[in-house]
């Protein structure tokens, strides 16, 4: 994994860490569980609940973590109620041991449930008891009035769709209204993908163990994670490193060559941006301005000939080239001139403001495979390849695609809702089919070349504004033109864009007030050197 990516574990990666620690380094698995449960209990204490704390436990080791937390909370004087979703005799070995450590004995029965409580009083109100849920029990009613809920049903090994009794318990946690602390990952979220089938209970805090997981950073799992606390649990140094996915670190920005005494506007990187149509001239203008702000020494826009005066008047630093004879847009008659406009480019963008006229989309399909420069395809350039993504595999130069979920859905001929539910898989599929680096935009922007995968973790809600994608395409093209390989260029552009979005919000005072030109003005801060790669 690249040194500028901070690795995230998937389920298999964490299993390898546990096996290594236990089998090769002799770490006691119960000691790991004890440390995990303590971290969860401490997170609950910070919430300062005044009513009973319900600990909803599955039968695996995640449930064992919850049982440890219940015992420790009891020892601290809190009232803790454990809800076992499966019979106690189905618990994993370590979880069963921690049920015994609660020192509980049977003392009564309720309808469909066995209730146990600690034999020794812990104070006037503090006690611990275990409720073993039976068929027909109303988990939502049991959780009503709780001061906090610990979600300890499923851990990082879960995938697929939860079945009863877990499904009902997950829905009850989601609806209970109490603060939720999740053990390792929110139940129902796939740690390897972030996918979730059905309802998932949003956590206020997720306490994960040893290292963060992919599902904490990729939506929809990301939206349920809440505050993420990574707790050490005693895994020795030298444990296997994550290899599946990495969070983009600012150190990637240091890969871009810097201008020196002998640099010229040509050696700094030439960029061509092609697109524009009547009513959509701003997209090309923003993309081209972003490119020169991101370090391109020379930028040219290739635009409809009759609209060229708009660009001549508006863009002082950007060259313009009017092409074609089709009024108000680019049509197939501009193909030869468009290819000529890219001849000297070290990086380019195709699509901003192109429009969805049939002739304009046909132009994009005709020229994209023949452009010999590294190329970013965005906006209507992407729409030109709806259902025809494989056509881009014929390109001989690097390609970067920058779709949002709707655009990627059109490329793959699926609903945007399906893309949103399977973001990581959809991005990887698109990269494999097109031979391109795919940048699936969102708060959790995913960058992948089909093998390597990176995720953005820089929150910048100000980027939810028109023109933000045009800015990203310009930054990406500039970094390609400056010599970065496509995956690194896309990752660097994504994090620079997000950091610029943060800076723009700081300057204007609120994320809601950010417009795309604010982001362009903040690009120098977004690109600011982050120090050497270690």
- Same domain for 382 and 276, yes or no, is yes
Helix axes 423-434, 405-412, angle to 10 degrees: 50
Q: Where is the domain boundary, 226, 244, 262?
A: 244
* Long-range pairs, 20-26, Cβ under 8 A, ≥24: 20/239, 20/240, 21/234, 21/235, 21/236, 21/239, 25/236
Lowest mean pLDDT among 137-146, 237-246, 368-377: 137-146
- Answer for the pair 439, 494: CB distance below 8 angstroms, yes or no: yes
Q: In this structure, is residue 534 part of a structural domain?
A: no
Per cent of the chain over pLDDT 90 is: 85
Q: Where is the domain boundary, 200, 218, 244?
A: 244
Instruction: Give the pLDDT confidence of 91-134 residue by residue, as tens digits.
Output: 999 999 999 988 644 443 333 333 344 333 323 334 467 888 87
Q: In this structure, is residue 425 part of a structural domain?
A: yes
pLDDT at 128: 60
How many CB atoms lie under 10 A from the CB of residue 121? Answer: 10
Taking the C-alpha atoms of residue 460 and residue 133, their distance in angstroms, rounded to an integer, is 43
pLDDT at 112: 30
Checking if the pLDDT of 533 tops 70, the result is no
Q: Where is the domain boundary, 194, 224, 244?
A: 244
- The CA–CA distances, whole Å, from 40 to 45, 161, 221 equal 9, 25, 19
- The CA–CA distances, whole Å, from 96 to 30, 41, 59 equal 11, 19, 9
Mean pLDDT of 492-503: 98
- Same domain for 261 and 209, yes or no, is no
Q: In this structure, is residue 453 part of a structural domain?
A: yes
For 496, phi then psi, to 5°, come to -65, -40
How many angstroms from the chain centroid is the CA of residue 57?
Answer: 28
Work out the mean pLDDT of the chain and round it to a whole number.
92
- Same domain for 209 and 255, yes or no, is no
Show the domain range for 375. 250-526
Checking if the pLDDT of 516 tops 60, the result is yes
SS3 at position 436: coil
Mean pLDDT of 433-462: 97
Q: In this structure, is residue 532 part of a structural domain?
A: no
Helix axes 93-101, 29-47, angle to 10 degrees: 60
- Same domain for 211 and 282, yes or no, is no
Checking if the pLDDT of 520 tops 50, the result is yes
Q: What is the CA radius of gyration of the chain?
A: 27
DSSP 315-382: -SSSEEEEE-SSTTS--GGGHHHHHHHTTT-SEEEE-TT----HHHHHHHHHHGGG--S-EEE-THHH
Taking the C-alpha atoms of residue 454 and residue 400, their distance in angstroms, rounded to an integer, is 14
Taking the C-alpha atoms of residue 437 and residue 490, their distance in angstroms, rounded to an integer, is 8
Domain count of the chain?
A: 2
Domain containing 421 — which CATH number?
3.40.1190.20
Residue 218: pLDDT band (50, 70, 90) is very high
Domain containing 65 — which CATH number?
3.40.50.10260
Checking if the pLDDT of 531 tops 80, the result is no
- Answer for the pair 73, 129: CB distance below 8 angstroms, yes or no: no
Instruction: Give the pLDDT confidence of 375-422 residue by residue, as tens digits.
Output: 999 999 999 999 999 999 999 999 999 999 999 999 999 999 999 999
Checking if the pLDDT of 32 tops 60, the result is yes
- Same domain for 357 and 441, yes or no, is yes
Q: In this structure, is residue 375 part of a structural domain?
A: yes
For 190, phi then psi, to 5°, come to -80, 115
- Same domain for 76 and 184, yes or no, is yes
- The CA–CA distances, whole Å, from 385 to 6, 365, 507 equal 33, 7, 38
Checking if the pLDDT of 367 tops 60, the result is yes
pLDDT at 530: 59
Instruction: Give the pLDDT confidence of 37-89 residue by residue, as tens digits.
Output: 999 999 999 998 888 999 999 999 999 999 999 999 999 999 999 999 999 99
Higher pLDDT, 266 or 378: 378
- Same domain for 197 and 297, yes or no, is no
Mean pLDDT of 497-522: 97
Q: In this structure, is residue 193 part of a structural domain?
A: yes
- Same domain for 300 and 432, yes or no, is yes
Give the CB-side neighbour count of residue 436, counting CA atoms within 13 A.
28
Lowest mean pLDDT among 159-163, 215-219, 402-406, 513-517: 159-163
Q: In this structure, is residue 531 part of a structural domain?
A: no
Taking the C-alpha atoms of residue 488 and residue 223, their distance in angstroms, rounded to an integer, is 26
pLDDT at 125: 34
For strands 113-117 and 128-132, give the pairing: antiparallel
Q: In this structure, is residue 533 part of a structural domain?
A: no
For 69, phi then psi, to 5°, come to -60, -40
- Same domain for 205 and 291, yes or no, is no
- Same domain for 169 and 34, yes or no, is yes
DSSP 28-64: -HHHHHHHHHHHHHHHHHHH---SPEEEEE-SSHHHH
Maximum distance among all alpha carbons in the chain? 89
Instruction: Give the pLDDT confidence of 176-217 residue by residue, as tens digits.
Output: 999 999 999 999 999 999 999 888 999 999 999 999 999 999
- Answer for the pair 363, 332: CB distance below 8 angstroms, yes or no: yes
Q: Which two tokens stand for residue 202?
A: 């949003």
How many angstroms from the chain centroid is the CA of residue 178?
Answer: 26
- Same domain for 224 and 254, yes or no, is no
From 520, 494, 505, select the one nearest 253 (Cα to Cα).
494
Q: What is the DSSP letter of 296?
A: -
Which residues fall within 8 angstroms of residue 103, CB to CB, at 6 or more apart?
Answer: 118, 119, 120
pLDDT at 110: 32
pTM (2 d.p.): 0.93
Helices (H), 134-217: 139-143, 166-175
Which residues fall within 8 angstroms of residue 171, CB to CB, at 6 or more apart?
Answer: 140, 198, 199, 201
- Same domain for 285 and 224, yes or no, is no
């Amino acid at each position: 994994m690249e040194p500028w990516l901070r690795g995230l574990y998937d389920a298999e990666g964490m299993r390898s860490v546990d096996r290594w620690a236990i089998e090769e380094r002799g770490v006691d698995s119960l000691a790991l569980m004890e440390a995990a449960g303590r971290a969860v209990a401490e997170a609950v204490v910070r919430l300062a609940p005044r009513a009973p704390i319900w600990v909803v436990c599955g039968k695996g080791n995640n449930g064992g973590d919850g049982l440890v937390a219940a015992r420790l909370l009891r020892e601290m004087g809190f009232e803790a109620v454990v809800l076992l979703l499966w019979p106690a005799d189905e618990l994993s070995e370590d979880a069963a041991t921690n049920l015994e450590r609660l020192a509980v004995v049977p003392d009564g029965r309720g309808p469909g449930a066995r209730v146990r409580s600690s034999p020794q009083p812990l104070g006037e109100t503090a006690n611990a008891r275990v409720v073993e849920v039976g068929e027909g029990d109303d988990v939502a009613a049991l959780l009503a009035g709780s001061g906090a809920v610990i979600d300890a049903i499923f851990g990082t090994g879960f995938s697929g769709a939860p079945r009863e009794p877990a499904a009902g318990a997950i829905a009850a946690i989601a609806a209970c209204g109490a603060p939720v602390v999740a053990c390792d990952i929110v139940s129902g979220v796939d740690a390897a993908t972030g996918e979730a089938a059905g309802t998932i209970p949003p956590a206020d805090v997720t306490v994960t163990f040893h290292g963060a997981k992919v599902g904490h950073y990729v939506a929809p799992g990301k939206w349920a994670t809440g505050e993420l606390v990574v707790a050490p649990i005693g895994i020795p140094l030298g444990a296997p490193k994550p290899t599946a996915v990495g969070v983009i670190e600012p150190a990637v920005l240091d890969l871009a060559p810097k201008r020196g005494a002998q640099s010229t506007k040509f050696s700094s990187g030439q960029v061509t941006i092609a697109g524009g149509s009547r009513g959509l001239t701003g997209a090309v203008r923003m993309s081209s301005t972003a490119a020169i702000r991101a370090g391109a020494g020379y930028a040219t826009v290739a635009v409809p000939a009759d609209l060229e005066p708009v660009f001549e008047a508006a863009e002082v630093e950007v060259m313009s080239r009017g092409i074609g004879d089709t009024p108000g847009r680019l049509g197939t008659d501009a193909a030869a001139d468009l290819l000529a406009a890219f001849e000297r480019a070290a990086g380019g963008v195709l699509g901003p403001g192109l429009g969805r006229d049939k002739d304009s989309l046909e132009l994009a399909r005709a020229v994209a495979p023949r452009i010999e420069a590294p190329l970013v395809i965005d906006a209507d350039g992407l729409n030109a390849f709806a259902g025809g993504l494989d056509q881009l595999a014929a390109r001989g130069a690097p390609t970067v695609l920058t779709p949002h979920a709707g655009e990627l859905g059109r490329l793959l001929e699926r609903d945007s809702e399906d893309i949103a539910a399977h973001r990581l898989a959809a991005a990887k599929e698109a990269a494999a089919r097109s031979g391109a680096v795919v940048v699936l935009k969102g708060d959790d922007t995913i960058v992948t070349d089909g093998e390597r995968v990176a995720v953005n973790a820089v929150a910048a809600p100000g980027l939810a504004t028109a023109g933000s994608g045009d800015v990203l395409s310009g930054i990406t093209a500039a970094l390609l033109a400056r010599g970065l390989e496509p995956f690194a260029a896309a990752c660097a552009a994504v994090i620079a864009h997000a950091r610029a979005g943060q800076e723009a919000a700081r300057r204007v005072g609120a994320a809601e007030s950010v417009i795309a030109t604010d982001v362009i003005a903040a690009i120098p801060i977004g690109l600011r050197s982050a120090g050497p790669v270690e």
